[in-house]
């Protein structure tokens, strides 16, 4: 068989369900090998979208999402999505075609050394120089991608190698094993928690990756510990739980930041520094940190680790819980912070001003969605509002990219989410700037018959950049643009178009969109004057 056929057999051995991508001349052997494969090839309209889809698949399943592109511009287009997945710690395997080895030593059509280009945005990457090594390369790519902390790997397959004959077989899949921390470490961690007057958990992305949410909730109940979530840690503890201090991560002081300031011990569980810089919540590095994760902590002056509990988080958290005695704590300060944050959301439930305020959009969205519905936020001003005010019951039900934070991620990710969970409601929350970067994928959604809802916050500009400009200079510059008729655009792709023309229509429109079981785009004008009002409010918060 050809090396390309062996590659596909190896991917099948790894349990790959989908490959997201755009084919090209240099990977036609791979595409032909997929013709009779059990793997479904999802043809996307842009390579970056393919990598976004692979990243969402990896985040939701824990299995590497696979994306594919050709050489040159295909590979560079794919790069942004691969970098995004790697910084968000989503396991993916990227596969790119390449010029034949016989022309890589000279200037050649569409040839760049992509192994060098991908080196900085992956955990591991290589070129297949001979067909015999295909099984080893594929197995290593999946092994490294799923090893904590998870991320992206890259395989480059030159077109001449893809067509070479080979006689070998895929390698067996070997799962990872994470060790448990030693008993003295567990006991020391428990002692630190018991000795602290105001210990507080900071729950990050790793809680979900480590399938440790249930163990964490059990620890929280026994030790009576408050929990703050990062943008990507949402849902580790349900937002309705009295121990939940909701989400932190927006710049400046906030109610939640005040909660972090009250703590005399931060128990960082599955926390990744790319999510929320310690300088923002421990600026002087005075509050000690108990680090519970699969890997040792990054060195940071504002993250003063006193003890590291490293390994299998689920088991280590369970063991810490067992070593703790039940303890009554005064959580009055927690209730005070929590009530302020929740009352802010509730105060906008009946707001009728138009255009619609961000707080009202979020209140209505939360009210109509099920506990297990999946919301994917794109990047922009709406992301900051969603991160701060959209509250989750379960992990991985509000997906926010907060590492590289690439615009355009929501629509492709929503398609992947609906493929993974066809029975659940999936909503992509986009700004009109981010939506236009990957809006062609509406055709992909329609072609695949995956009914997603796109909730478009329209303000005719790059709202987040304007927000920063107004804070810095009290004026904006070069951020406004024109838009198409989104209703006509949606209809042309086969989506059901809906438009919010009065604020009191929004909740009913959302309910209808979700009930149709078809692809819908909702055009909702947003009042981003609230951005600067929030900035002023945060500036006046006194902890």
Query: What are 355-365's pLDDT values in tens digits?
Result: 999 999 999 99
Res 308: pLDDT: 97
Q: Give residue for tokens 């689920």.
A: 314
Model confidence band, residue 221 (pLDDT cutoffs 50, 70, 90)? very high
Q: Give residue for tokens 């059901």.
A: 496
Model confidence band, residue 218 (pLDDT cutoffs 50, 70, 90)? very high
Is residue 475 over pLDDT 80? Answer: yes
Output the CA–CA distances (angstroms, integers) from residue 120 to 140, 205, 257, 529, in the order listed: 18, 22, 33, 39
Res 280: pLDDT: 87
End-to-end CA distance of the chain: 68
* Domains observed in the chain: 3-162 (3.40.50.970), 183-336 (3.40.50.1220), 347-539 (3.40.50.970)
Mean pLDDT of 251-264: 74
- Rg (C-alpha) for the chain, rounded Å, is 24
Mean pLDDT of 103-124: 88
Model confidence band, residue 130 (pLDDT cutoffs 50, 70, 90)? very high
The CB density around residue 244, as the number of other CB atoms within 10 Å, is: 24
The CB density around residue 224, as the number of other CB atoms within 10 Å, is: 16
Res 261: pLDDT: 81
Q: Residues 33-58, buried b or exposed e (16+ Cβ, 10 A)? A: bbeeeebebbebbbbbbbbbbbbbbb
Q: Residues 176-196, buried b or exposed e (16+ Cβ, 10 A)? A: eebebbeeebbebbbebbeeb
Distance CA 241, CA 46 (A): 41
Least confident among 243-257, 481-495, 499-513: 243-257
Res 542: pLDDT: 53
Distance CA 332, CA 101 (A): 68
**All residues at 6 or more sequence positions from 36 whose CB lies less than 8 Å from its CB, including other chains:** none
Mean pLDDT of 225-238: 94
Mean pLDDT of 536-541: 69
Distance CA 487, CA 497 (A): 5
Mean of per-residue pLDDT scores for the chain: 93
Asked if 274 and 87 count as a contact pair (C-beta separation under 8 A), the reply is yes
Res 531: pLDDT: 86
pLDDT digits (tens, 9 = 90+) for 288-330: 999 999 999 999 999 999 999 999 999 999 999 999 987 777 7
């Amino acid at each position: 068989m050809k090396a390309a056929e062996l590659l596909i057999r190896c991917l099948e051995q790894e349990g790959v369900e989908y490959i997201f991508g755009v084919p090209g001349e240099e990977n036609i052997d791979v595409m032909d090998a997929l013709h009779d494969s059990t793997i479904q090839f999802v043809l996307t309209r842009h390579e970056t979208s393919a990598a976004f889809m692979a990243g969402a698949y990896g985040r939701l399943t824990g299995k590497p999402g696979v994306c594919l592109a050709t050489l040159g511009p295909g590979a560079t287009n794919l790069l942004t999505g691969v970098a995004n997945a790697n910084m968000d710690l989503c396991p993916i395997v990227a596969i790119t075609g390449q010029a034949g080895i016989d022309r890589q030593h000279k200037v050649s059509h569409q040839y760049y050394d992509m192994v060098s280009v991908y080196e900085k945005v992956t955990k591991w990457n290589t070129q297949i120089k001979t067909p015999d090594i295909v099984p080893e390369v594929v197995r290593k790519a999946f092994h490294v991608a799923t090893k904590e902390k998870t991320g992206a790997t890259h395989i480059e397959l030159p077109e001449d190698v893809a067509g070479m004959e080979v006689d070998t077989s895929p390698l067996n899949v070997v799962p990872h094993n994470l060790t448990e921390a030693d008993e003295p470490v567990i006991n020391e961690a428990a002692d630190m928690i018991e000795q602290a007057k105001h210990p507080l958990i900071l729950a990050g992305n790793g809680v979900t990756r480590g399938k440790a949410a249930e163990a964490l909730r059990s620890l929280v109940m026994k030790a009576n510990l408050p929990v703050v979530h990062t943008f990507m840690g949402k849902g580790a503890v349900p937002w309705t739980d009295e121990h939940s201090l909701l989400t932190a991560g927006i710049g400046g002081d906030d109610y939640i930041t005040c909660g972090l300031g009250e703590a005399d011990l931060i128990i960082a569980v599955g926390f990744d520094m790319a999510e929320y810089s310690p300088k923002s919540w421990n600026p002087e590095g005075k509050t000690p940190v108990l680090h519970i994760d699969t890997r040792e902590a990054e060195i940071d002056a504002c993250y003063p680790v006193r003890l590291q509990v490293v390994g299998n988080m689920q088991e280590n958290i369970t063991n810490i819980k067992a070593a703790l005695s039940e303890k009554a704590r005064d959580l009055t300060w927690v209730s005070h912070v929590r009530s302020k944050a929740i009352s802010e959301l509730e105060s906008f439930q009946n707001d009728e001003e138009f255009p619609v305020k961000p707080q009202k959009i979020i209140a209505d969205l939360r009210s109509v969605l099920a506990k297990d519905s999946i919301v994917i936020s794109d990047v922009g001003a709406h992301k900051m509002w969603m991160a701060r005010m959209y509250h989750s019951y379960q992990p991985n039900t509000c997906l926010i990219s907060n590492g590289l934070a690439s615009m355009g991620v929501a629509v492709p990710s929503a398609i992947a989410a609906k493929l993974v969970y066809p029975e659940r409601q999936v909503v992509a929350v986009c700004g009109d700037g981010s939506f236009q970067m990957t809006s062609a994928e509406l055709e992909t959604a329609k072609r695949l018959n995956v009914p997603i809802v796109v909730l478009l916050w329209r303000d005719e500009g790059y709202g987040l950049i304007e927000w920063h400009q107004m804070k810095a200079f009290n004026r904006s510059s070069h951020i406004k643009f024109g838009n198409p008729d989104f209703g006509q655009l949606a209809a042309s792709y086969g989506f059901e178009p809906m438009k919010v023309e009065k604020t009191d229509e929004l909740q009913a429109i959302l309910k209808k969109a979700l009930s149709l079981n078809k692809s819908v785009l909702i055009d909702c004008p947003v009042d981003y004057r609230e951005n600067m009002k929030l900035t002023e409010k945060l500036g006046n918060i006194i902890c």
